[in-house]
Amino acid sequence: MAEIFAMPKLGMDMEEGVVAQWLKAEGDTVKKGEPLAEIETDKSCVEVESPAEGVVLKIFLAAGETAPCGTAIAVIGAAGEPIPDVTAPAAETAAPATAPTAAPAAAVNSDLFFLMPKLGMDMDEGVVSKWLKAEGDTVNKGEPIAEIETDKSVVEVEALQSGVLLKIYLPEGESAPCGDPIAAIGPAGTEVPADPKAAMAAAPAAAPAAAPAAAPAAAVNSDLFFLMPKLGMDMDEGVVSKWLKAEGDTVNKGEPIAEIETDKSVVEVESLLSGVILKIYCAEGESAPCGDPIAAIGPAGTVAPADPKAAMAAPAPAAAPAVPAAAPAAAPAKVAAAVKTGVAAKTPGGRVRVSPRAARLANQNGVDVSCIIGSGEEGRIVEQDVANYIASGAAATATAAVAAPAACRVPTETVEPINTVRKVTARRMVQSLTEAAQTNHRVDVDTTNLMNFRKQVNAKLEKDGIKVSVVDLLAMACARALIEHPMANCYMMPDGLHMHNYANIGIACDTPKGLMVPVIKDADILSITEMAQASRAVINKARKGELKPADMSGGTFTISNLGMFEIDSFTAVLNPPETCILAVSRTQDKVVVENGQMVIRPMMNLCLTYDHRVLDGAPAARFLETIKHYIENPVWLVV
C-alpha cells in the first residue's frame, strides 16, 4: 500500500516547513531510513529520512515551496501502484452542535486536554496503539506520551504541555476522530471532567487554568529551560559541540546559542527565549537525549535549579510567577571580554575555533580564518571578527609563544571523547564486516601510459586553470567498468538486487573530522574536464567541513586512495550497501618482464574488495581486468 510522506514537525513550535531540496526524484527507488529530502525550518535545514521503502511515486511540493506540518508532500509505494487522492484535506472535526447554552460553574480550560493529532492530510481518526505514560505519571513537554496508529503507520507523539497525566479517556486499541480529547494533562490535584467534549464546549475561551491549591513556593516554570533539540526524525540524542554563549551572558530569542552535533552534521541552533544564561547543564563535548534540559534561560537574578529534570517534573503554578516575565530594562549585561591576542585558537584536534556563520563569511570572501584572532570564548572566531577583518583590509599577525620544554615528564593517560563522525564510521565498518561476505582480488597495473596521458591532458588544460589528477582518471576508469559490469554496481537489499544504470563514485577523504566519502554523481557520463571539476569541488568541501548529506549519499562504488603514502598494498572495507570498493596503493618502479626482457615500469597495486554474496570470483576478476585495461589504455576513456 502506498504511504504518504507528510511535512514533518521537527520542533514543538514548528507550524510549517520548506522543501529546501529533494534528494530523490519521482521514479527513484528509496529505502526506509534513507535521506529523502532536506526540510528547512525557521531555525535550520534538516535532512529527513524516508518512512518507507519503495519508489517515489509522486512529489506534491516542489523544492522551495512551503507547506503546513502534516500536509502530504510525497507518496512512496510499489512501482506502478495507484497514487492515492490527497488533494482534498479531511474535514476538521467540528465542535458539538449541541453545546450547552451556559457554562457550568466548574468550567475547564481547554488547554488541559491532549487531542488526537492529525498526522496526515487523509487522516480522519487514529487509534491509540499504546500509552507510554499511565494516569498519575509526570510528563514533560516534548516527551513521548503515546503511540498513535493510522492506516499507514504507527507514530510516536509527544506531549504539548508539562504536568501530570490526570486522565486517559481513550484506552489502548480504541479509536477517536482527529481533534477529540483523548487525555487530560495538568497540575497535580486538578479535577478533570467525565465528559471532556462537553467541558471543552463549555469552557470560556480565556479561562485561566486553576493553580494547584498547595503549589510549592520554589516551583520552577518549565519554560525556563532550553532543551536538546530534535534535529532529525531518527535523532535520539545530541552532543553540545560548542556553546556560543556563557553563563551570565544575555541572549535574545532567535540568537545562535549553541552548536549541536548529530551523527550527520553540526547545526547551529537558536535560542527560543530571551533573557540571561542562568545555568549550563550540559558541558561541551557531552551528550544528552533529545528533550532533556541543557541550559536555563530567564530574567537576571532568577535561581536556576540544580536538578532541572526534577524541577520540570514538579508542575509550576499556572499564575503568580516568582519574578516578572520580562527582565528589567536596567539589568546589566555581561561585560564583553577584551579581544585576545596571539594565534587563532584551535581545538585539541587542531581545528581553528570558528562559528559556522563566521566560516561562511570567510569562505565567501576568501579569508584565511587562521589569520584572525577571535573575540569569542576561548578565542573562538565569530562573524563580527571576520567582518572587522574584511573591513580593515589589514592582515592579522600573530606570533605563537613557544613553551619551554618541561624539565621532566610525568606519565599520564587521558581519555579523548569519540566524536560523532568516528562513531558513525565505527558502526558502519562493523556493519560492513558482519553483514557482507567480503573477499578480494589484487593486481599490479602499469601506469606508464596513464602518466603520459595525464601529462598531455594537463598541458592542454593549463590555460583553463584545470588540473587532472590520477584519482580523476581512476574514477573515470572505474565508472566505465561499472557500466560494463552491472553486478558490480548494484546493492543487495532484502527485496532483491537493486541495479543501477548510472555510476556514482565515492572518493574516501581524510579530513580533520575523520573519514568522509563525498560522491561524484553520474561519473560514467562526465568528460575529463567535468570529472576534474566535480572531484575538486567535493574533495575541497570535505576538507573544509562543508559537505551536506546530499553530497555523501547515493554512491554505488568507492575508491580509497593511499597512493600519496608509502603503502605498497592494503585492503579496504566495503562501504555498505555498495558491492565493491577499490584500494589504490602507491606507484613505484618495479622490474617486469616484457617480451623476454627485464624492464623497469611504474607499477600501481590495486585491491578490489567485493561482496561474494553478489559477485563470484570470476565476474569480480573480469571487472578488475576491465579497470586495469582502461588504466593501461587511457585513450579509451575519451573514445
Neighbours of 639 (CB within 10 A): 5
List 441, 498, 500, 612, catalytic entry: 612
Which one-letter amino acid corresponds to residue 126? G
Cα–Cα distances in angstroms (integers) from residue 612 to residues 223, 428, 515, in the given order = 56, 18, 25
- Residues paired with 226 in a beta bridge: 295
**Angle in degrees, CA 258, 260, 266, rounded to 5:** 115
Work out the widest C-alpha separation in the chain, in whole angstroms.
108
* Secondary structure of residue 628 in the 3-state scheme: helix
What is the tally of helices (H) and strands (E) in the chain? Answer: 9, 34
Report strand pairing: 154-158 vs 54-59: unpaired
Q: Give the three-state DSSP class for 476.
A: helix
Whether 612 is catalytic is yes
Provide the terminal-to-terminal Cα distance of the chain, rounded to the nearest Å: 46
**Pairwise CA distance, residues 284 & 259, whole Å:** 9
Q: Which three cell numbers stand for residue 422?
A: 568516528
The H-assigned helical ranges of 226-377 are 308-313, 356-364
CA distance 324 to 150: 44
- Can you name the residues that pair with 346 across neighbouring β-strands? 352
Task: Look up residue 306 and give its three cell numbers.
Answer: 540544580
Q: The C-alpha cell of 196 is what?
A: 471532556
Using alpha carbons, select from 190, 184, 219 the residue that is nearest to residue 317: 219
Q: Smallest Cα–Cα separation from 456: which of 634, 639, 636?
A: 634
Inter-residue contact 24 to 5 (CB < 8 Å) = no
Whole-angstrom distance, CA of residue 162 vs CA of residue 546: 38
CA dist., res. 300 & res. 333, Å (int) = 9
Q: Given 368, 464, 510, 616, which residue is catalytic?
A: 616
User: Beta partners for 238?
Assistant: 288
Q: Taken in order 4, 10, 12, 13, is the CA torsion positive or negative?
A: negative
Q: How far apart are CA 476 and CA 525, in angstroms?
A: 9
Q: Are 192 and 184 in contact (CB under 8 A)?
A: yes
Which residues, listed in sequence order, are joined to residue 606 by a DSSP beta bridge? 443, 584
Residues 639 and 637: their CA atoms lie apart, in Å, by 6
Mind telling me the catalytic residues? 612, 616
